[in-house]
Amino acid sequence: MPTMDQIQPYMPLIIMGLNGLIAGWLAGLLLGGGGLIRNLIVGIIGAFVGGLLVNTGWLNLPASVTNITNAIPYGTQITISTIGALIVVIIARFLGGR
């Protein structure tokens, strides 16, 4: 069984993955369709897409949104992951011809 010291370097990725699971579920609620497994996969991919958009500076949340989401544990990360998942779903539907 790994110790916390061994897991610690991977914690940001683990948290991003868990946030992605929540984001995929939210994206499934907002855009419909998919199913549980597809929503979870899209959410994890969306978490990485949202994180990439924030790191490159293409996605900046307004202060009014971050003031609310900072009150919820990992709320801002879940919001960014959900935005990334929505982008992934929209692009997939566009490319898939739906």
**pTM, two decimal places:** 0.77
Output the average pLDDT for the chain: 83
Q: Running DSSP on this structure, what letter comes out for residue 35?
A: -
Question: In angstroms, rounded to a whole number, what is the distance separating the alpha carbons of residues 26 and 32?
Answer: 9
How long is the chain?
98
Instruction: With H, G, I as helix, E, B as strand and everything else as coil, classify residue 98.
Output: coil
pLDDT at residue 98 greater than cutoff 60: no
Nearest Cα to Cα of residue 80 among 98, 55, 3 = 55
Tokens of 58: 């293409």
Q: How confident is the model at residue 86 (pLDDT cuts 50, 70, 90)?
A: very high
